[in-house]
Structure 1
Amino acid sequence: MRTLTLLRILVILLGVGALIMLIPLALALILGEQRMIWALGLPAGIIIAAALPAFFSYRKNPLRFRARDGFLLVFLTWVGMSLLGAMPFYLSAREFSFTNAFFESACGFATTGATTITDVEALPKSLLLWRSISHWVGGMGIVLLTVALMPLLGVGGFQLIKAEVSGPEKERITPKITATAKVMWFTYCILTAVLVILFRIGGMEWLDAFCHSFTTMASGGISTKNSGLSWYNSAFIDHVTMVFMLLAGLNFNLYFRLARGKFKDIITNTEARVYLGIFLISAAAITFTLIPVYGSLSASWRFGAFHAASILSTTGAVIADYSVWPAFAQAILFALMFVGGCSSSTAGGIKVIRHVVLWKQTGNELRRILFPQGVFSIQLNKKVGRKDVVYGVSAFVFLYAAVVTIVALITAASGVDIFSSFSTALSVISNIGVGFGAIGPGHNFGAFPDQLKWLYSFAMIAGRLELWTVLILFTPEYWRR
């Protein structure tokens, strides 16, 4: 019964993804893209046909499951959505092997922004839209969307969101978890709509404006142009993108507090202050380093601040070849790959709050050496933090470093140089999509062997789900009754 229950919920969740696939299908019908009508319509139709009986049977017999089953269900949902999302690529009659198709889909839902595609502009417009929508849906979360749409998951809903949303602590901003999900998705939609309008004002066509807005707010970073946003050569578009990359990397719970007039909560939020501080310091340092390169402060800020925001928020958008910048500027960008955005945001990475916790705990340990009898605790948002948060953060950072090391070693064993291997491992697990060496500007993942693409695909999903959700499934204790 437990297995059947999980399968029914999984099919319903995939059905939500199939319904979303109808949006690019409508575009394919309008534009007469015959092959894409088949490529999008077939998988969507099959999944919807399977999901409808499961949904209507649920209405008669509500589904219940154990909280620990949420980890398995969320992981299976992301893998299943990646498989579903791969079908339009694979069936599009383009040069997509199944491996590359799954890789592109996993990149989308994990909001990594990596790709194997060399000529993006040759793709059908409906496929470009689906590629961007997969990022957007993955940014805020597939399960979170479903929880927002219907009270399907009952008491287990919060457990699923805990398994999907990023950060060491998950928070209800409203008494009901469905209302919390709706608030977060409503905020996400509003910010995306504003960005679409700004991109349109900046000169983008409507489709490009939607696609770039989807991927920017999802911290994905892919583009409908081969040269990315640099194709537009617009300072306005670059600065708008920079601002919204930073907004996407902020904790979305803060926007709810802002809407309710709780400005003090935002000002006193430790993670937000550190996040913006890291950006301003790194952007300023890169800017002054680039003045000899670009010859002016404004141009240096435009390119330096953009890439600082892009890497920090794990968006991975590129408007200049930073591999030819001075070593100090490159070193700052490389260091930002270890940071990430805020918790409960669309950004990936370790997350700023974890760095804050470890920094404060390091200070406490130094004080304890001087005052062995003293009692010290960390403070977050001017409140005393729990000790178990410190333990959890320490364990996560160790696990993160271990997984990055393992992926880097496997990559190096395939003949990739060590710097590129480490940069690639850090990029896929942090969901950045770009890096240095073999994945620097002007390169993509197409040259990597298929076995590494499968490894990276699951590493991206694990990184998007904060590692614990996936790795706990490989422990014997999880499967014991």
Structure 2
Amino acid sequence: MIYYLKHNIHKLNWTMIGNVLGMVLIAQACLMVLPVIVDLIYQEGLYDSYLIVIGICLALGYGLTRKKSRTNSYFAKDGMLAVGLAWIVVSFFGGLPFYLSGEIPSFVDCFFEAVSGFTTTGSSILTEVENLKHATLFWRSFTHWIGGMGILVFILALLPKSNDRDMHIMRAEAPGPTIGKLVPRMRQSAMILYTMYMGLTIIQVVLLLIGKMPLFDALCNTFGTAGTGGFAIKNTSIGAYNNAYYEVIITIFMILFGVNFNMYYFLLIKDFKQIFKNEELR
């Protein structure tokens, strides 16, 4: 990879890559508003840490999106590099609030926790999560939800203009070994994927609320389920609730979120042949 970049770095569309990173930073800033709201509700005094990072992300993002490329086309190498850099950037700024707030003293640990969250790996350096404040718990779990579908798929859903080259980002970003266009335009495909993703998320939250789980807990546990990563807000995870109903709901939705979302689209349009042909699902 290093050899390839060394000999092809001048051929990359750096302006377009910068534009993608800028949009990612702006999107991340917008998403960080949610833990700010959570902190204001619980009045635990962490909102300033998030506001600082939001300001930095907006400033950098605006600067990167200001420069326009001479061409809107980009290729597989540009898409792959944009995705790789985006994950590094998102993880760096995603872990910064943990460090600024003092919730996790070591920045290396903060970065590790953010990477684990966004990549939905689920590994953690924390041994006592119940001591964390609500905004930290929310953002930590929310990184799973963001990473479950991929923040760049979110960007594609919002882009006013997209072209066939966006497939290079979609293939490099979206979960599952096979990603294809569901409809002719990538923006529509991304919106369909996120609509289904949000739909399943809302259904799980409602079902957990029906089982008397507190709203904050229902949201955080659903985020961990959606990303299939498993970040929890209790030291003993779901076992802390000692509730079989919660365990059944979360188990079912862990399986549902683990299915390639193309299959749900085929189910909606009643293309059952494509579903049964899918080796991954079988």
Q: TM-score when scaled to structure 2? A: 0.89
The residue aligned with 2:182 is: 173
Which of the residues 156, 166, 177 maps onto 2:165? 156
1:5 and 1:178, CA in 2 relative to 1: closer, same or farther beyond 3 A? closer
1:139 aligns with 2:134: no
Which of the residues 34, 38, 44 maps onto 2:54? 44
Q: Structure 2: any 5+ residue segments left out of the alignment? A: 1-11
1:47 and 1:122, CA in 2 relative to 1: closer, same or farther beyond 3 A? same
The residue aligned with 1:71 is: 80
The residue aligned with 2:122 is: 113
Give a deviation string over 1:183-235, Cα, whole Å, max 9, x none.
Answer: 11110000000000111122211011001111101111111111100011111
Q: In the alignment, is the contact (CA less than 8 A) between 1:141 and 1:165 conserved in 2? A: yes
Q: Distance in 1 between matches of 2:224 and 2:151?
A: 15
- 2:227 alignment partner AA: A
* Identity across matched positions, percent: 35
1:121 deviation in Å?
A: 1.1
1:16 aligns with 2:33: no
1:191 and 1:252, CA in 2 relative to 1: closer, same or farther beyond 3 A? same
1:171 and 1:64, CA in 2 relative to 1: closer, same or farther beyond 3 A? closer
1:24 deviation in Å?
A: 0.8
- 1:235 alignment partner AA: A
Structure with higher Rg: it is: 1
Give a deviation string over 1:312-364, Cα, whole Å, max 9, x none.
Answer: xxxxxxxxxxxxxxxxxxxxxxxxxxxxxxxxxxxxxxxxxxxxxxxxxxxxx
Q: In the alignment, is the contact (CA less than 8 A) between 1:148 and 1:181 conserved in 2? A: yes
Q: In the alignment, is the contact (CA less than 8 A) between 2:96 and 2:110 conserved in 1? A: yes
Q: How many residues are aligned here?
A: 271
Q: Distance in 1 between matches of 2:15 and 2:278?
A: 43
What's the C-alpha RMSD, in Å, of the aligned pairs? 2.0
1:3 aligns with 2:4: no
1:258 and 1:168, CA in 2 relative to 1: closer, same or farther beyond 3 A? closer
1:53 deviation in Å?
A: 4.6
The residue aligned with 2:5 is: none
Give a deviation string over 1:252-279, Cα, whole Å, max 9, x none.
Answer: 1111111223344434433322xxxxxx
1:269 and 1:203, CA in 2 relative to 1: closer, same or farther beyond 3 A? same
Q: Distance in 1 between matches of 2:71 and 2:93?
A: 26
The residue aligned with 1:31 is: 42
Q: TM-score when scaled to structure 1? A: 0.54
Q: Structure 1: any 5+ residue segments left out of the alignment? A: 274-481
Q: In the alignment, is the contact (CA less than 8 A) between 1:64 and 1:153 conserved in 2? A: no
Q: 3-state SS of the aligned residue for 1:91?
A: helix
Q: Distance in 2 between matches of 1:262 and 1:52?
A: 42
Q: In the alignment, is the contact (CA less than 8 A) between 1:157 and 1:177 conserved in 2? A: yes
Where in structure 2 are the equivalents of 1:440-451 lying within 5 Å?
A: none
